[in-house]
């Protein structure tokens, strides 16, 4: 018996997961490789960072997703190289995994544009470790502010600077504003809510630059209504222990800079700054049986524009490549269908655009809730997240405010 | 107006929390000091380590517990010294907190009995950071076992050695056994469940030495039925990267040693190995207005036996000291009421003794569930934990199997 074609998928994000799911119980042998043992639902990461959700509620262990599926296996590992002629990839632990088809779906990472001072002095919001680090940092900054030795230090600890006015920055700024507004008056008698400053700094002339201008204006209004200081056409030049320095020389004293202002493709093979070039069938040109999908790949829409680095193109591409492999290549070119985009600002407030339609306010928020619950992986997660949102809505609480790090206790050291 | 008496409580564990709660809205000014910003329900810590519960479900942020309570405040800090004559304590950050009454409720820490090799090569199960570290370590050991270079290393990675046959060791061994039995067959096709070895090593001649012998025998039987290798009269001499060495010279190759074999009082002031001596009113002898309660204090029952280092004496002592302070000292001596003790072995199986009564099996398990839900802090936590247990019971799953560490992403380094 001829062995089944071997498909190696590198990355268990949106693209890789959809590809593996579409190959489930099909006549191929699938190996899903990831450094993490879970799929992460990144659109809700900011809710972990802002004390509303648990990590387990926005993750799905990859082995659990493919529990009982005979032809899909998971392997923990970091791909560090590939031999396209001999058709194998190399892992950091030295293992070589041979493939008939290789799907590179390694997503993206934070882009600091080479600015080392920003890299060292900012907090990210791109993976789960960063979200937990940010949550811990914000809670500790509030604690330290209650016992700060002077007003200057107190003000610095109570200034939270979010760089980047895209969806991640806007959603986190709104959530942080609500956390402060709900929790500070009740539980921090040492602080007055008006002392807390949340800034969002965006380089272009409006928030959410990929949305319609009317939605940008709405987002700005809603954030400002929640006490967020919105500054557009504002670029950060550098950062140090005291705060950030803007391009125009302004210094902002802050203990917390959250960097959401750039992503770069996370190419495990070449460490190139650009997205991997692919043909209209999402194949790497010039090599056989290699596909690249999602954030790491430079696929284009019918107008020749690069697809945005968000989850819908990755998911569509994952399913496309799976069908392409199963059909033996007899497929027409990949065509991305833009189903629209949504971003939430807070309780009962969101913006969205689907084709020519625009949504704001409560309707947008409900749309946002439904879409995010729908795409979340796992029935259990959907139930739990829905319950947390209901609780949050009724009780107006963001309850997960514990500072935790995995590691030995202090006494042991 | 004369200022209210100032009560400083050091430690937000069972004793400190009960003391602060009993002083809520009373004519005293309470400051609760802890290095952690949350109360931890330690009896369920092993369920975090064994992938069943989230940290947030067994913790309560201390500020949230006293939300809206005007006379109880929280301060993050580590007490490093005290001046009993001038009546103040010193924190690690240099602050001095003056008191009229001081309640030392700092609990206990892991005791390695001076054995440095064990301290360095074992994992603890005494605080939340350790529980998460243990969860990560077990999940990673399973992953590494699937790709181990040889059978010897594979067997070492699949050997889990729990030292200490008290409630923590027994409960974790049972939970780990269930995790393996439920998850391995479905999700680790590379491993066979019979390859996995769980050992529990106890120095005395039976598990649960503080329980009745019949219950010890039941616990042993139930653990063995779950595939746990129970070894009594077995002492660990040392440990290294390869595994543990027993007193009789036997070597056990293992990548995971969990040390639950000893606790010591966590005295912040003297770093003494013994519990703090207290009089029959729980006062430190020879100084004014200083109490010590719970694990850190050497209170005795009416027969002159030291109270066990578990939560019920701490909670009773916390309430007693609060009343003592409010009454201005006109109280009779502290008398501990033993309400019984419970330990669970797994699904539908637990042991308990209340006075002369003994429980095992399903009845014991239900008693265990009810008591733990009752004492868990917070209505929301009770609902969530109850739902997780129901899910676990029906679906037979331990779903929280994600390896997470708070910190910057790898790409940033």
For residue range A215-253, list pLDDT tens digits in order.
999 999 999 999 999 999 999 999 999 999 999 999 999
Predicted local confidence at residue A397, as pLDDT: 82
End-to-end CA distance of chain B: 58
Residues of A in contact with B411 (CB under 8 A): 109-110, 266
More confident residue, B364 or A137: A137
Q: What is the pLDDT of residue B412?
A: 39
Chain B: nearest CA to A334, how far in angstroms? Answer: 30
On average, the pLDDT of chain B sits at 93
Q: Which helix (H) or strand (E) holds B173?
A: helix B167-187
Contact A8, A33 (CB under 8 A): yes
Question: Residues near B173 by Cβ (< 8 Å), separated by ≥ 6?
Answer: B162, B198, B200, B223, B228
A372 touching B, CB under 8 A? no
Nearest by CB to B119, which of A75, A410, A412?
A412
B-interface mutation test, from A45, A389, A403, most B Cβ less than 10 A away: A403
Is B401 in CB contact (< 8 Å) with chain A? yes
Q: Which residues 94-113 of chain B have a CB within 8 Å of chain A?
A: 95, 109-110
For chain B, say whether A130 makes contact (Cβ under 8 Å): yes
**Which run of H or E residues covers position B96?**
strand B96-98
Percent of chain A predicted with pLDDT > 90 = 80
Chain A: residue nearest B119 by CA?
A412
Decide if A399 touches B, using CB distance below 8 A: yes
Query: Out of B57, B130, B143, B171, which one is annotated catalytic?
Result: B171
Could you give the residue numbers annotated as active site of A? 171
Interchain contact, B63 vs A133, CB within 8 Å: no
Q: Which pLDDT does position B104 carry in this prediction?
A: 98
pLDDT at residue B173 tops 60: yes
Torsion of CA A104, A106, A112, A115, to 10 degrees: -60
Which chain A residues touch B190 with a CB distance below 8 Å?
Answer: 73
Q: What mean pLDDT do residues B246-271 have? A: 93
List, in order of start, the domains of chain A with CATH numbers.
6-35+77-110+264-326 (3.50.50.60), 116-261 (3.50.50.100)
Q: Which of B402, B185, B397 is nearest to A39 (CA)?
A: B402
B288-298 confidence digits (pLDDT tens) = 999 999 999 99
The residue written with tokens 């006379």 in the block is B71
pTM of the model: 0.95
Contact A402 B133 (CB under 8 A): no
What pLDDT score does A402 carry?
87
Task: Report helix, strand or coil for B410.
Answer: helix
A128·B401 Cβ contact <8 A: no
Give pLDDT tens digits for A146-168: 999 999 999 999 999 999 999 99
What per-residue confidence (pLDDT) applies to B410? 61
For the four alpha carbons of A328, A331, A333 and A334, in that order, the dihedral sign comes to negative
- From the list A70, A127, A407, which residue is nearest B409 (CB)? A127
Residues of chain A neighbouring B189 (CB-CB closer than 8 A): 70, 73
Among A132, A380, A402, select the one facing B399 at the smallest CB separation. A380
* Chain pair A-B, CB pairs under 8 angstroms: 171
Q: Which of A186, A391, A405 sits opposite B68 (nearest CB)?
A: A186
Tens digit of pLDDT for each residue in A323-364? 999 998 767 899 999 989 999 998 889 999 988 899 999 998
Q: Is residue B397 pLDDT above 90, yes or no?
A: no
Summarize the confidence of residues B79-103 as an average pLDDT: 96
Quote the pLDDT of residue A412: 39
Residue A413 has pLDDT above 60, yes or no: no
Q: What does the alpha-carbon distance between residue B248 and residue B163 come to, in Å, rounded to a whole number?
A: 15
Q: State whether A401 and B139 contact (CB < 8 Å).
A: no
CB contact under 8 A, A406 and B129: yes
Q: What is the pLDDT of residue B90?
A: 97
Interface of B with A in 27-46 (CB under 8 A): 35-38
**What's the burial of A405, exposed, middle or buried (CB within 10 Å: 0-12/13-18/19+)?**
middle
What is the average pLDDT across B86-114? Answer: 96
A15-31 pLDDT per residue, tens? 999 999 999 999 999 99
Interchain pair A63, B187: CB under 8 A: yes
Mutation to test the B interface, candidates A267, A404, A413, most B Cβ within 10 Å: A404
User: Is B357 touching A (CB cutoff 8 A)?
Assistant: no
Give the residue from chain B lying closest to A95, CA to CA.
B147
Using the Cβ of A266 and the Cβ atoms of chain B, whether some distance falls under 8 Å is answered with yes
Query: Which of B69, B111, B186, B409 would you mutate first to test chain A, the one with the most A CBs within 10 A?
Result: B409
Q: Which of A100, A72, A113 is nearest to A6 (CA)?
A: A100
Token output for A130: 């960063």
Q: Is B333 on the interface with A (CB under 8 A)?
A: no
Would the CB atoms of A147 and B77 count as touching at under 8 Å?
yes
A403 touches chain B (CB under 8 A): yes
Q: What angle do CA B69, B73, B76 make, to 5 degrees?
A: 145
Q: Which residues pair with B346 in a beta bridge?
A: B349
What is the pLDDT, as a whole number, of residue A182? 87
Task: Report the percent of chain B where pLDDT is more than 70.
Answer: 98
pLDDT at residue B152, rounded to an integer: 96
Residue-level length of chain A: 413
DSSP letter for each residue of B277-296: E--TTSBPTTSSSEEE-GGG
Interface of A with B in 157-216 (CB under 8 A): 183, 186-190
Distance, first Cα to last Cα, chain A: 58
Q: What's the mean pLDDT when you consider all of chain A?
A: 93
Residue A350 confidence (pLDDT): 94
Chain A nearest C-alpha distance from B412 (Å): 7
pLDDT the model gives residue B388: 87
Burial of B221 (0-12, 13-18, 19+ CB in 10 A): middle
The predicted model gives B245-254 an average pLDDT of: 97
* Per-residue pLDDT at B1: 65
* Mean pLDDT computed over A129-137: 96
Position A1 scores a pLDDT of: 64
pLDDT digits (tens, 9 = 90+) for A362-381: 998 999 999 999 998 888 88
A404 touches chain B (CB under 8 A): yes
Confidence of residue B72 (pLDDT cuts 50, 70, 90): very high
Confidence of residue B413 (pLDDT cuts 50, 70, 90): very low
What are the pLDDT digits (tens) for B179-208? Answer: 998 889 999 999 998 999 999 999 999 999
A273 reaches B (C-beta below 8 A): no
More confident residue, A333 or B271: A333
pLDDT band, residue A268 (cuts 50/70/90): confident
């Amino acid at each position: 018996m001829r062995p089944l074609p071997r498909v190696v998928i590198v990355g268990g994000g949106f693209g890789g997961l959809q590809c593996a799911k579409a190959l489930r119980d099909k006549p191929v042998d699938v190996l899903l490789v990831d450094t993490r043992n879970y799929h992460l639902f990144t659109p809700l990461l900011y809710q972990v960072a802002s004390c509303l959700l648990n990590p387990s509620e926005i993750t799905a262990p990859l082995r659990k997703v493919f529990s009982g599926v005979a032809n899909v296996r998971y392997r923990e590992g970091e791909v560090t190289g590939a031999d396209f002629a001999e058709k194998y990839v190399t892992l950091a632990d030295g293992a070589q995994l041979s493939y008939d088809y290789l799907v590179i779906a390694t997503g993206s990472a934070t882009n600091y544009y080479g600015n080392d001072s920003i890299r060292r002095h900012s907090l990210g919001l791109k993976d789960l470790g960063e979200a937990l680090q940010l949550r811990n940092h914000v809670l500790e900054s509030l604690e330290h502010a209650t016992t700060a030795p002077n007003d200057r230090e107190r003000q610095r600890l109570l200034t939270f600077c979010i760089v980047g006015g895209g969806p991640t920055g806007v959603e986190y700024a709104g959530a942080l504003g609500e956390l402060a507004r709900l929790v500070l008056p009740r539980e921090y008698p040492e602080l007055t809510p008006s002392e807390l400053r949340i800034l969002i700094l965006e380089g272009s002339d409006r928030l959410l630059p990929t949305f319609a201008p009317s939605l940008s204006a709405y987002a700005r209004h809603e954030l400002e209504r929640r006490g967020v200081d919105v500054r557009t056409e504002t670029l950060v030049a550098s950062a140090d222990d005291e705060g950030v320095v803007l391009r125009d020389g302004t210094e902002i004293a802050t203990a917390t800079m959250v960097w959401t202002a750039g992503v770069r493709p996370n190419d495990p093979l070449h460490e190139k700054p650009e997205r991997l070039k692919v043909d209209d069938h999402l194949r790497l040109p010039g090599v056989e049986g290699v596909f690249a999908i999602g954030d790491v790949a430079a696929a284009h829409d019918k107008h020749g524009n690069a697809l945005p680095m968000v989850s819908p193109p990755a998911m569509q591409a994952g399913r496309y490549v799976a069908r392409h492999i199963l059909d033996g290549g007899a497929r027409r070119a990949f065509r991305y269908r833009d189903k629209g985009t949504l971003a939430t600002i807070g309780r009962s407030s969101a913006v969205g655009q689907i084709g020519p339609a625009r949504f704001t306010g409560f309707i947008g928020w409900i749309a946002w809730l439904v879409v995010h619950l729908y795409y979340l992986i796992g029935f259990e997660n959907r139930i739990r997240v829905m319950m947390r949102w209901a609780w949050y809505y009724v009780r107006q609480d963001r309850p997960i405010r514990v500072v935790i790090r995995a590691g030995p206790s202090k006494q042991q050291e």
